[in-house]
């Protein structure tokens, strides 16, 4: 195994930059950097050392040695905390490479940790999710997965599957007659129960992916009803240009905020009307795409004038999608004041005075009330995990169908093996090298 090196802190100028090494040559490279061939650091203890180059001092750094296997990767590791000058960090990494280390691939430190049994694949993915978490609730879910909660939730299912497979394969190998009917019924009942367990876990993805990816909200309406003003008000900064000229917004703008601890992606769209030119037509087409992709539509209506035919048309175009109606401009004399519109939640607001803004944010989050607490149970947040759980459920259901049709044990066992393989792929036991490469390519370099 070769020795790898990478900058573990974000690139750019900072107070501290951390350079990380892992592999059998790590300690020897450190000795070369400080020019002390007999240096024997105490593991897990920070020491101050001068890094020397060309008879001069490159930097004074804090150095920590982690001895295998008691390290993040399970290999000898060195972490060097030096001043965060891009010049110093670049020179240090070049110097380390000159001592037969190579630059790490994205996620390679965590990949080595998996291969050396320090964590399973779902825990490794949780590290990536924790780094990328946009809200506290997302961070809590990533931490739960990092602690091994997902692997533990799958463990009993895998044990039961293995027990059934052993019984059926033993029958194939050693029993001339078929399994007794009472035993077959017991096996089928167990598989039915496993289907329910796997299905219940997979169904948490409906909430989990929103926590992971964020809730997508498209702000729609006629031109000049105050969509961009509400967009800015929800963001709490002036992101969109606002004028009294109808059709100011010609393109979609998207920003992410946190509401009740959940990431919410807000998209301000071009107003619906007959396009006056090709550019406006492109903007309206993007509005339609944003509507199709949204988890929730926020329809803005100008409350200072009567409800227009265009408002009704936009309501119809929403179809069955969940939506909230904001009757805007309550600071002006109100003409349109309704409490219910096609069954949607209606909130009266003023983007100018902030009236109704708290009620509006509450209405946006109301359909996602199950995500309101960081103490929600374990959720499946990763699409890969959801896909594998769905496949496992399908294989278990196939085994049940085969048993009901009186198929031989060989056919039933094949489906059970597939289910076990899919569940094992979640935690990495049955994941191919190609898939591992694709997963870890999404990690940052140095992690």
Cβ-proximal residues to 299 (8 Å cutoff; 6+ apart), any chain: 220, 221, 311, 314, 315, 318, 323, 324, 325, 326, 344
Higher-confidence residue of 306 and 245: namely 306
pTM > 0.85:
no
| 339: Cα within 13 Å, side-chain hemisphere | 0
pLDDT for position 385: 94
Asked whether residue 416 carries a pLDDT value surpassing 70, the answer given is yes
pLDDT for position 245: 47
- Pairing state between β 296-302 and 253-259: unpaired
Please report the sign of the dihedral spanned by the C-alpha atoms of residue 66, residue 69, residue 70, residue 75. Answer: positive
| 202: Cα within 13 Å, side-chain hemisphere | 19
Q: In which residue ranges of the chain is CATH 1.20.120.430 found?
A: 134-204+380-440
Over residues 292-315, the mean pLDDT reads: 84
CB atoms closer than 10 angstroms to residue 353: 12
pLDDT for position 170: 79
Cβ-proximal residues to 28 (8 Å cutoff; 6+ apart), any chain: 99
Asked whether residue 225 carries a pLDDT value surpassing 50, the answer given is yes
Over residues 362-390, the mean pLDDT reads: 81
In order, the DSSP letters of 275-321 are -SSHHHHHHHHHHHHHHHH-SEEEEEEETTSPPPHHHHHHHHHHTTS
pLDDT for position 175: 58
pLDDT for position 372: 55
**Omega within 30 of 0 (cis) for the link into 248:** no
For 68-78, write each residue's pLDDT tens digit: 999 999 999 99
CB atoms closer than 10 angstroms to residue 412: 24
- Pairing state between β 296-302 and 215-221: parallel
Q: In which residue ranges of the chain is CATH 3.40.50.300 found?
A: 211-371
CATH no., domain 134-204+380-440: 1.20.120.430
- Three-class SS of residue 165? helix
What is the longest distance spanned by two Cα atoms in the chain?
88
Q: How far apart are CA 46 and CA 42, in angstroms?
A: 8
Q: In which residue ranges of the chain is CATH 3.30.1360.120 found?
A: 3-104
Cβ-proximal residues to 40 (8 Å cutoff; 6+ apart), any chain: none
Return the minimum-mean-pLDDT range out of 249-258, 268-277, 329-338, 411-420. Answer: 268-277
Phi and psi at residue 364, to the nearest 5°: -60, -40
For 95-153, write each residue's pLDDT tens digit: 999 998 999 999 999 999 999 999 999 999 999 999 888 777 788 889 999 999 999 99
Q: How far apart are CA 327 and CA 192, in angstroms?
A: 50
Q: Residue 319 corresponds to which tokens in the numbers above?
A: 């179809």
| Beta-sheet strand order (sheet of 56-66) | 46-53, 56-66, 77-84, 14-22, 3-7, 101-103
Over residues 3-12, the mean pLDDT reads: 93
CATH no., domain 211-371: 3.40.50.300
Mean of the per-residue pLDDT values for the chain?
A: 85
CATH class of 3-104: alpha beta
Higher-confidence residue of 135 and 232: namely 232
| Beta-sheet strand order (sheet of 344-348) | 253-259, 262-268, 215-221, 296-302, 323-328, 344-348, 340-341
CB atoms closer than 10 angstroms to residue 39: 17
Q: How far apart are CA 291 and CA 247, in angstroms?
A: 18
pLDDT for position 241: 54
Asked whether residue 22 carries a pLDDT value surpassing 90, the answer given is yes
For 313-353, write each residue's pLDDT tens digit: 877 777 778 888 988 888 888 776 676 666 778 889 888 88
Higher-confidence residue of 211 and 156: namely 156
**Spatial CA neighbour of 336 closest among 360, 305, 308, 312:** 305
Asked whether residue 243 carries a pLDDT value surpassing 60, the answer given is no
**Cα of 46 vs its chain's centroid, Å:** 34
Phi and psi at residue 419, to the nearest 5°: -60, -45
Beta bridge partners of 296: 217
pLDDT for position 332: 85
pLDDT for position 140: 86
Asked whether residue 6 carries a pLDDT value surpassing 80, the answer given is yes
State the angle between helix axes of 205-213 and 136-146 in degrees (0 to 180), rounded to the nearest 10.
120
For 144-191, write each residue's pLDDT tens digit: 999 999 999 999 999 999 998 888 887 776 655 666 677 778 888 999
- From residue 439, alpha-carbon distances to 108, 142, 176, 179 in Å are 11, 16, 46, 42
Cα dihedral 172, 174, 177, 182 in deg (nearest 10): -80
28 band by pLDDT with thresholds 50, 70 and 90: very high
């Amino acid at each position: 195994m070769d020795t790898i090196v990478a900058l573990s802190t974000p690139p750019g100028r900072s107070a501290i930059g951390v350079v990380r090494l892992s592999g059998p040559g790590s300690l020897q490279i450190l000795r070369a950097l400080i020019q002390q061939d007999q240096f024997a650091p105490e593991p897990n203890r920070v020491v101050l050392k001068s890094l020397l180059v060309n008879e001069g001092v490159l930097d004074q750094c804090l150095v920590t040695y982690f001895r295998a296997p008691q390290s993040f990767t399970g290999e000898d590791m060195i972490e060097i905390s030096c001043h965060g000058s891009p010049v110093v960090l670049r020179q240090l990494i070049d110097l380390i490479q000159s001592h037969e280390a190579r630059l790490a691939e994205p996620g390679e430190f965590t990949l080595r940790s998996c291969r050396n049994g320090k964590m399973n694949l779902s825990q490794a993915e949780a590290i990536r999710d924790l780094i990328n978490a946009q809200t506290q609730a997302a961070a809590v879910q990533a931490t739960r997965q990092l602690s091994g909660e997902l692997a533990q939730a799958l463990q009993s299912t895998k044990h039961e599957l293995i027990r059934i497979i052993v019984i059926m394969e033993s029958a194939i190998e050693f029993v001339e007659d078929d399994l007794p009917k009472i035993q077959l019924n017991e096996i089928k009942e167990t598989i039915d129960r496993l289907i329910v367990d796997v299905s219940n876990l997979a169904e948490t993805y409906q909430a989990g992916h929103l926590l992971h990816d964020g809730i997508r909200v498209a702000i729609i309406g006629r031109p000049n009803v105050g969509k961009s003003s509400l967009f800015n008000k929800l963001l709490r900064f002036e992101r969109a240009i606002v004028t009294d000229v109808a059709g100011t917004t010609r393109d979609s703008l998207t920003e992410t905020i946190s509401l009740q601890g959940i990431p919410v992606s807000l998209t301000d769209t071009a107003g619906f009307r007959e396009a006056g030119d090709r550019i406006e037509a492109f903007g309206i087409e993007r509005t339609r795409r944003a509507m199709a992709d949204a988890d929730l539509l926020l329809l803005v209506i100008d409350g200072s004038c009567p409800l227009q035919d265009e408002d009704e048309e936009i309501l119809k175009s929403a179809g069955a999608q969940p939506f909230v109606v904001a009757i805007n401009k309550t600071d002006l004399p109100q003409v349109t004041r309704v409490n219910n519109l096609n069954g949607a939640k209606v909130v009266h607001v003023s983007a100018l005075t902030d009236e109704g803004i708290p009620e509006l944010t509450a209405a946006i989050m109301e359909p996602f009330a199950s995500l309101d607490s960081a103490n929600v149970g374990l959720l499946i947040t990763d699409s890969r995990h959801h896909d594998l759980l769905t496949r496992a459920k399908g294989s278990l259901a196939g085994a049940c169908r085969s048993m009901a049709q009186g198929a031989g044990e060989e056919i039933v066992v094949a489906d059970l093996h597939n289910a076990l393989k899919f569940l094992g792929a979640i935690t990495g036991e049955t994941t191919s090298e190609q898939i591992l490469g694709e997963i870890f390519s999404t990690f940052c370099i140095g992690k």
